[in-house]
Structure 1
C-alpha cells in the first residue's frame, strides 16, 4: 500500500509568521553585508530557514555552520550574539565545534563529520528522553552537499537507532541527490523546493512529526534553482492572493527591526 501523502493545513497566521521571519533574515544579512563591506550573499535561504526553524521547540537542538547567520537569528540568539559569531576568528580552531549557543551548536567540520556529530547528539537526546513519548529533535543544516555518500555514516547510525534526527542539505538542479534506498539505509528522502515557503512548511511539519513520534530520521533535500522568483516576493504574492497581506504590518516590522539592527550595529561600531 502506498504511503499516504500528508499535507497539513497551514493557518494564515502561520504564513504571516513565516513571512516575517523571512524578512528578518533578509534585513539582517543585507545590513551585515553593508557593515562588513563584503559582497551580498544571494543564497535565498529565507524560506528554508523560516519554515524549518519555526517548528523547533526549546528542547530541540539546532546544528548549523558558522556562516549561517539567519539560522542563529531565527533560533533566538540576540543580534549582538549573532554578530559575535559572524565576526569571530576561528582559523586556528582544532575541533569541529566552534562555539555553543542556546539550544544550538556551530560546526566547522566537513559534511561527513557534521552528519556523524549530529547523529551522536540525536542519540544522546534519545537516551535522555525517559518516559516522555515525544522526542527532542536534532536538526542539522549541512549546507551544500554534492556527494550524498558522505552522509553514509550518519544515515546508517540514524537508521539503526531510529534517531530523532533531521538532516537538511542544499542542492541545485545540476546536482540533485541520487541515493538509492540501500544507500539511504531506508531513511526517508524528502526533496523539496528550498525557495517555496509553503512547500518547505509542509515538509518541515511532516519531518518533525515523524521524528517526534519515534518513527525515525529524515533526510530533507532543499533544491535551489537560479531562475526562480525571489522567495520573499513569492511569499508576498501568495499572501496577496489569499487576501491576507497587510501592508501596514509589513512596513511596521521593517521599520522596527531595521531600527533594532541600527542600534546593534551602531554599538558594534562604537566598540571598535
Structure 2
C-alpha cells in the first residue's frame, strides 16, 4: 500500500495511523481472549479488561520511550502488549495467573517490560503518589523521561484531584495524567480540566473514541513534559450518553476504521483483516 495519498498528514503519517489501528485491534483481541479464558476457567485471579479504552491507551502509550514509566489503573495485559512483550510467553503467563499458578502482581516476566511499569497497588491516591514520586526522581536525575499515569476521575474526590494536580504543578513534574472515561457514568460531577488549569497545568479534554486526536494531544504533551515544562492532564471524554446503544461513534475501533477508510489511508478489506495474523498467533499459542 502506498505511503503517499491525497490525505497524507505529515504530523501523523498514514503508516503511523495504520500502526495505531492495528495496535487497538490487537488490544481488543487480547482482552477478548482473556475474557474467554476466565469464563471457562472460573478464574481464581481475575485480570481486568480495557474494552472501549483502546484509543485512550494505545494513542497515549504507543510513543513512550525506553526509560519512560507507566502507572496503570488495573492489572491487565494491555500495557505489556503495547510495550512489546513477546506474545507466546505473555499468553503463558496470562494462563498461569488465571489458574492461580502465578500471582497477578506482574503478568509479563520479561525484565524490560516489567521495568517500564510501576508496581500496581490498590487505591488511586497511592498509585498517583507513587507515579509523582517516580516523576520527581526522573526530574532530579535530569533524565529526559516521563511518567504516564492512568486514572478514573471518580477514583478521587474533586478536592483530592485539586491536591494532586496542584502538587504536580508546583514541583513541575514530567508527568502526564490520562483520565479514562467512566463507563458507568458514575462519580462526582466535576470540571477536572478547569481545575487543572487553575492549578497551573494544561487540562485538555479529548474525545475518548478519537485515537487520532488523542495521539496528537499526547505527542504535544510529551514534548512539553520532556522539555521541562511540567505536567499535563488529558481527560478522555466519552461522547456516548448513559444508556445509549453502542454504535460506530461509541466504539473507538469502528470510529478509527471509518476515519482511515474515508481518507483512503487503508481499504475496507485491509481494516477487516488487520487482526488475522494476531488471531492465528493466539490460536497457535494455545497448543
- State the 1:197 CA deviation: 0.8
Counterpart CA distance in 2 for 1:70 and 1:42 is 7
Q: Does 1:223 align with 2:237?
A: yes
Q: List runs of 5+ in structure 1 lacking aligned partners.
A: 1-6, 268-272
The 3-state SS of whatever aligns with 1:166 is strand
Question: TM-score scaled by structure 2?
Answer: 0.76
Cα distance in 1 for partners of 2:234, 2:95 equals 29
Following superposition, the deviation at residue 42 of structure 1 comes to 7.3
- Say whether residues 1:142 and 2:151 are aligned partners: yes
- Give the root-mean-square deviation of aligned CA atoms: 3.2
Q: Does 1:128 align with 2:141?
A: yes
Using the alignment, how far apart are the partners of 1:148 and 1:55 within structure 2? 30
Work out whether residues 112 and 151 of structure 1, in 8 Å CA contact, stay in contact via their aligned partners in 2.
Answer: no
Q: Kindly tell me: are residues 149 and 88 of structure 1, through their superposed partners in 2, closer, same or farther at Cα, counting changes over 3 Å?
A: farther
Are 1:261 and 2:282 an aligned pair? yes
SS of match in other structure, 2:72: strand
Report 1:46-85 matches (<5 A).
46-79=54-87, 80-81=89-90, 83=94
Find the aligned partners of 1:111 and 1:8 in 2 and give their Cα distance.
37
1:12-64 deviation digits (Å, cap 9, x = unpaired) = 11111110111100111111111211799673111111100112011211111
Match of 1:87 among 90, 93, 98: 98
Aligned to 1:4: none
Give the secondary structure class of the aligned counterpart of 1:129. Answer: coil
Q: 1:1-272 residue pairs with structure 2 within 5 A?
A: 9-37=11-39, 43-79=51-87, 80-81=89-90, 83=94, 87=98, 98-99=105-106, 101-129=114-142, 135-145=144-154, 147-172=157-182, 177-179=190-192, 180-181=194-195, 185-226=199-240, 227=244, 228-247=249-268, 249-250=270-271, 253-264=274-285, 266=286
> How many residues align structurally?
251
Specify every segment of 5 or more residues in structure 2 that has no aligned partner in the other structure, as ranges: 1-8, 107-112
Cα offset, 1:204, TM superposition: 0.7
What SS does the aligned partner of 2:148 have?
strand
Superposition deviation, residue 198 in structure 1: 1.2
| Compared CA separation, residues 238 and 253, structure 1 to 2 (3 A) | closer
Whether the aligned pair in 2 keeps the contact of 1:77 and 1:102 (CA below 8 Å) is no
Per-residue deviation, 1:68: 3.5
Bigger shift: 105-114 or 243-252?
Answer: 243-252
Structure 1 residues 56 and 88: alpha-carbon distance in aligned structure 2, compared to 1, 3 A threshold? farther
CA separation in 2, counterparts of 1:48 and 1:144? 14
